[in-house]
Amino acid sequence: MKVQDIESFFREAFSDRVFSSAERKALSKILLEEPLQDHERDLLRGRMFEIAEEGLVDGRDRPVLEWLRAAWRMLLPDENTAADTGDSAVFFSPGDACLEAIRSFIYRASRTLDICVFTISDDRISEEIIAAHRRKIQVRIITDDEKLFDTGSDIDKLARAGLDIRVDRTAYHMHHKFAIADGKVALTGSYNWTRSAAQHNEENLLITRETGIITAYARQFDKMWDEMKPYV
């Protein structure tokens, strides 16, 4: 059984809002016969939140789901919490490991957040950035000028939310993908901040607290910030 089939199983199981004993036994049998890879489990974990969100009828239930999502991010596997203890951590896609690592990275910022990425079109990441801005986190975003016009680009939405955004002035691409939180943690890798990166692409993400790396990225960000033009 493929990931898509298990997702369909979850959707059917959710239809009556009860995960019955028979359904649990059936799923256990499926997983025993055809064990999932780690990235497939990550993908399905993310899908479960989407299924639940689609099923919300009463808006008053949404804070419950958001609480669960935030608490779930705080309990990511050890490879993510390592980034808070002086080590580095790596994540891979497809699957939601990279996505949730980015969202957790943004969620945990307490003062500043500098984001320098080629494109942003995954609403789940954009909403996390806007939430950080509303918590009075100082957020700066650098992105590529041509990607602003891609279908699904969230840059205009972020700008309308009041975020400070700058774009490159050249005919070439601003192709970086990195971020710095509180001047203490850096995030980088090939992972594009798009849904297709989570769902289909073979991508990677690194989170580190190594001082030399963070200093180099911060210096580059400030240099580019001064060189680039404000988004209007």
Report yes or no: 91 and 97 within 8 Å, Cβ to Cβ: yes
Query: In whole angstroms, what is the distance from residue 33 CA to residue 21 CA?
Result: 18
Q: How many residues does the chain have?
A: 232
Distances (CA, A) of 74 to 43, 80, 93, 202: 18, 9, 20, 25
Which residues participate in catalysis according to the annotation? 175, 177, 182
| Pairing state between β 112-117 and 177-181 | antiparallel
Q: Which residues are CB-contacts of 127 (< 8 A; sequence separation ≥ 6)?
A: none
